[in-house]
Chains A and B, each alone.
Chain A
Amino acid sequence: MQRPVPRQTGEGLVRGIPAVLSVVSAFVIWEIYVRVSGISPLMLPAPSRVLEQMVQNRVLLWDNTVPTLKATFAGFAMSLTVAFGLSIILDFMPRVRRALFPIFVVSQTLPLVAIAPLVVLWFGFDLTPKVLLVALVTFFPMLVALVDGYASTDPEIEDLMRSMGATRGQTFRAARFPSAMPYFFAGLRISITYAVVAAIFAEYVGARAGLGIVILNAKNSFRPDIVLAAVVISSLLTLVLFAATALLQRTVLRWRDVEGHR
């Protein structure tokens, strides 16, 4: 009855081909359209021009990518820590959960467009407001995922733990926490895609440097090619972070791959 863990690398490459093809053909169509229609590069620059600008302005772009990355990582680290800590507190104290959960939901209804300028106003042009905004945006999906994940624990496993004489803490560590991991990774993947965008938006509202500032300046000087160059970088950042979480998930949830291939 032995079912070996399948190797997935080759399979994954083959599966990726349609996605790569569709992305490439979208760019090709765009390039052809720009060349055939003769549209002004001030309206719509061709992908080749965007690429050219990325190479030409690589120092500027890199210098401004670093602060965005810093804000993203610091904000994400903060929201991850807080989400984990809070989720554990909420799991052990249902009353606190009922008291605080509405506040977290309300925090998600605040429009970023309105909140961002206020946060910048209160905390200045440095890293702090960006970190806070990234944390605000990414925190909730992870918290909800963790809290729901704990609740998803198989009641029979909990009965079993109780019959073994496990303490509340032991049950949490051995049963509830591992049960929540698939949920957590679902939340993490959603959060990570918001993180870079939130950092750029926070910069857009007020900062000294960052991709948001590049976009703002390029827009004001009618340079859609540079706007798009910054957009490409922001997309790439998000993709890399997304891939990193997928890789982490694969390692942590190895047992699920096994299950998926029954």
Chain B
Amino acid sequence: MTALSLNDVSVTFGDIPVLDRINLHVEQGEFVSILGPSGAGKSTIFRLLTGTLPLQTGTISCAGRENSFAFMPQRDALMPWRRIIDNLTLGLEVQGIPRKDARAQVGPLLGEFGLADFTTHYPAQLSGGMRQRAALLRTIVQGRSIQLLDEPFGALDALTRTQMQTWFEDRWRAARWTTLLVTHDVREAVALSDRIYVLSRRPARVIAEINVPIPRPRLGRPPSAQAYEIEAYLLETLLQQTGETS
């Protein structure tokens, strides 16, 4: 079943075209990545979906309710004045769920996100990886049908990023959240996705759609030859876009 589809979605800021007739869809339980050069307009797609930006032309349709997206911004955007537990329940509080019930909903998930001992800490007291896990949990507990992740591991150091990706793959294999990931990291896209859309330079068009039929888990062991092949192809496609192909 299709969870989300964008049909001929275009956006211009003033005179500058940013998105040019974007078509993409996400199936239920599928992990889809949007890969593109920096500044291509990847985040603009998320801003359309979360309603920060009004839709100009084209249609967006999603299965189920009106507001079916949970959004995880690039930096963790944890509120520094709220303790971790209160950051986690923020989305539920906004939905009007009383604090006590919200905490009860978050409670069972704390363990697998490695946050059980840190609920009363302030964000500043946690490491980058833990903050990112908290931000992800804050996204998941909202109970929306589609998770929008905007370069969730981009701000982490290389080692922590690898750890987080491996951990995330485990979590995802267990839960199968319908996920749309924005990234410019080719390896990350190949490691996590069922399908990858490649965007061109601004104005962004979909220039490639690639299936990644590699068995999971893919992380925590040497990448397969097939993964290398896909990575090489994606990299070449992207480099052509930045005009730096050899």
**Chain A residues within 8 Å of B, Cβ to Cβ:** 1-3, 154, 156-157, 159-166, 170, 174-175, 178, 181, 253, 255-256, 258-259, 262
Contact = CB atoms under 8 A, between A and B. Distances in A.
Nearest to A182: B81
A181 B80 CA distance: 12
A163 B70 contact: yes
B237 interface: no
B81 A255 contact: yes
Interface in B45-100: 47, 50-52, 67, 69-71, 73-75, 77, 79-82, 90-91, 93-95
At the interface, is chain A mostly helix, strand, loop or mixed? helix
B51 A162 contact: yes
Contacts of A161: 94
B73 A255 contact: no
A258 B120 CA distance: 12
Given A164-B91, A164-B94, A2 B77 contact: no
B94 A156 contact: no
Interface in B187-208: none
Contact of B130 (A1, A256, A259): A1
Interface in B161-177: none
Contacts of B75: 156
B240 interface: no
Nearest to A154: B77
Given A1-B127, A163-B50, 17 more contacts: A2-B121, A156-B74, A159-B47, A160-B71, A160-B73, A161-B94, A163-B51, A163-B52, A165-B95, A174-B79, A174-B94, A178-B82, A255-B124, A256-B80, A258-B122, A259-B122, A262-B124
Contacts of A170: 94
Given A1-B127, A2-B121, A164-B142, A178 B73 contact: no
Contacts of A164: 70-71, 90-91, 94-95, 142
Nearest to B86: A174
Nearest to B124: A259
Interface in B11-53: 47, 50-52
23 contacts: A1-B125, A1-B127, A2-B118, A156-B73, A156-B74, A157-B79, A162-B50, A162-B51, A163-B51, A163-B70, A163-B71, A164-B95, A165-B94, A165-B95, A174-B90, A174-B94, A175-B79, A178-B82, A255-B81, A258-B122, A258-B124, A258-B125, A259-B80
B126 interface: yes
A255 B126 contact: no
B103 to A, nearest CB: 16
Contacts of A162: 50-52
A157 B75 CA distance: 10
B69 to A, nearest CB: 7
A187 to B, nearest CB: 18
Residue in B47, B125, B148 whose Cβ sees the most chain A Cβ within 10 Å: B125
Contacts of B122: 255, 258-259
Contacts of A262: 124-125
A144 B77 CA distance: 25
Contacts of B125: 1-3, 258, 262
A2 B130 CA distance: 11
Contacts of A3: 125
Nearest to A166: B94
Contacts of A175: 79
Interface in B98-133: 117-118, 121-122, 124-127, 130
Interface string B144-157: 00001000000000
Contacts of B130: 1
Nearest to B79: A157
A170 B91 CA distance: 11
Contact of A160 (B77, B95, B117): B77
Nearest to A162: B52
Nearest to B93: A174
A98 B44 CA distance: 30
A184 to B, nearest CB: 13
Contacts of A181: 81
A260 to B, nearest CB: 9
A2 to B, nearest CB: 7
A176 to B, nearest CB: 11
A163 B73 CA distance: 10
B187 to A, nearest CB: 25
A178 B79 contact: yes
A161 B70 CA distance: 10
Contacts of B80: 255-256, 259
B216 to A, nearest CB: 28
